[in-house]
Amino acid sequence: MEIFRELEDIKKQFPYPCVTIGNFDGVHLGHQLLFAEVVQRAYRHHGTSVAITFNPHPLQVLRPEGIKLISTCAQKIEMIGHAGIDVLVIVPFTKQFAGISADHFVDEILLRRIGVRELVVGYDYAFGKGRAGNIPFLQKQGEEKGFPVSVVDAYYENGMLVSSTKVRELIVEGRMAEARMLLGRFYQIRGEVQMGKQRGGREIGFPTANLHLDAEDLIPKIGVYVCQVICDGKCYGGVLNIGYNPTFGEDTLVAETHIFDFNQDIYGKPIKVNLLQFIRGEQKFPGTQELAAQIGRDVVQAKQILASQHNELTLSCDEKHNR
């Protein structure tokens, strides 16, 4: 997949570009349907499938409180690439860019810069100043300027509307199986392993790999999860605690993962952690012995869950699923 991070970097129009536009946070099943439609239309015309997205997310610029994102820009790029898109255009989103009109976007970006021949959008898409670039506007523009506009209907999975908003809600509630159903994959956090307090191995008997979480991150429900850890291309089971270590009187949010059957030094290394199932809320224990006993019970439960999902988890460790 070819990636353009500035509109000015696009020096010539693409061969028969079939285009879709969106924020695509999480690249959930609804987004994947959009991409499949664009790829099929481009293929029929020996053309180019093009996705246009924005970084940062527009709501991070336009709303003081911002928005908690399901995926980082890097994750989004990976997943759009896996969807088979030929060209990804990442438009830098600023308050100045937010002020451009929908007409300007169509004329200067879609037509002059990219040369759009077909446009595919989701049922609720709108863009431009005041969100004036809605579906009726685009359809009228397409009729006047010679590019058909196709609208992909809302997609439901088990009666739930597949949307980024719904996925965020499920993650915050710890409903990982349902989040996975809408995403088409496990919800994943990732980062470089940080040096922690090193209590896990020394005091408690369960060493952990620690990841830093920011206040801007989408934080899953506080508590303990069964997880799958990907490190150096290999998969391991584990238990993940997202919380504040109340037993030790701390107030810093941490993500600590005890990885099963693993004893490597991975400080500074990147890991990915798939959240499979929430198993309990965070608790304050009288001391380290009680905490260690509970973690032992968590490990037993987690291994039982992992064993029951062995075939499915083996498939998820395949490189093309491991994203």
Task: Enumerate the active-site residues.
Answer: 256
Listed residue (259, 249, 248, 247) closest to 283, CA to CA: 247
307/299 Cα distance (integer angstroms): 12
Listed residue (174, 256, 276, 168) closest to 217, CA to CA: 168
Question: 298, 279 in Cβ contact below 8 A?
Answer: yes
3-state secondary structure (DSSP) of residue 31: helix
Listed residue (173, 182, 160, 176) closest to 309, CA to CA: 176
- 318 burial level (CB within 10 Å; 0-12, 13-18, 19+): exposed
3-state secondary structure (DSSP) of residue 37: helix
Q: What is the CA radius of gyration of the chain?
A: 22
